[in-house]
Structure 1
Amino acid sequence: MTASEYDAELDARGLFCPEPVMMLHNRINDVEPGGVLRVVATDPSTTRDIPRFCQFLGHELLSQNESDELFIYLIRRGQ
């Protein structure tokens, strides 16, 4: 995944619920509507929390992957 695939990044490694989603709530506002935020986390609860966050707040979860105990998400900011 290259930096050209996203507009901003949130590194939530080492943080535990609810911190990653709280940080995501703030960081997504730094991205223009239609822009893409990459989130990297180590907390397995993000596999449940981030999709729900996107669903409830109208953002599009473009991808969700796990690699070497990292959970990586690409989120397109909604309006």
Structure 2
Amino acid sequence: MCSADAVLDASGLNCPEPVMMLHNKVRGLDAGALLKVIATDPSTRRDIPKFCLFLGHELVEQQERDGTYLYWIRKKADA
């Protein structure tokens, strides 16, 4: 995966904290920026794709490695 413009490490946090942190982090990024999210809460497999769909961001890729969930999210272009 290509290098991210920013990283959000939400390891050890449980719902709803990872998505709340994601919302704040995305808000501070430029349009089109790529954010890598690291999480350990299995509920992020449901919550992060829904977050992206609802707000119009692109979920570029998601992976699971040994109980760690990785997501690459591209912030939507400004309208």
Give TM-score, length-normalised by structure 1.
0.93
AA of the residue aligned to 1:51: P
Higher helix share: 1
The count of aligned residue pairs is 77
Distance in 1 (CA, whole Å) between partners of 2:4 and 2:62 is: 14
Q: Which position in structure 1 is the counterpart of 2:70? A: 72
Q: Displacement, 1:77? A: 0.2
Name the SS of the counterpart of 1:5 in structure 2: coil
Q: Which position in structure 2 is the counterpart of 1:56? A: 54
Q: Which position in structure 2 is the counterpart of 1:22? A: 20
Q: Which position in structure 2 is the counterpart of 1:13? A: 11
Task: Detail structure 1 runs of 4+ shifted over 2 Å in the superposition.
Answer: none
Structure 2: unaligned runs, 5 residues or longer: none
Name the SS of the counterpart of 1:11 in structure 2: strand
Give TM-score, length-normalised by structure 2.
0.93
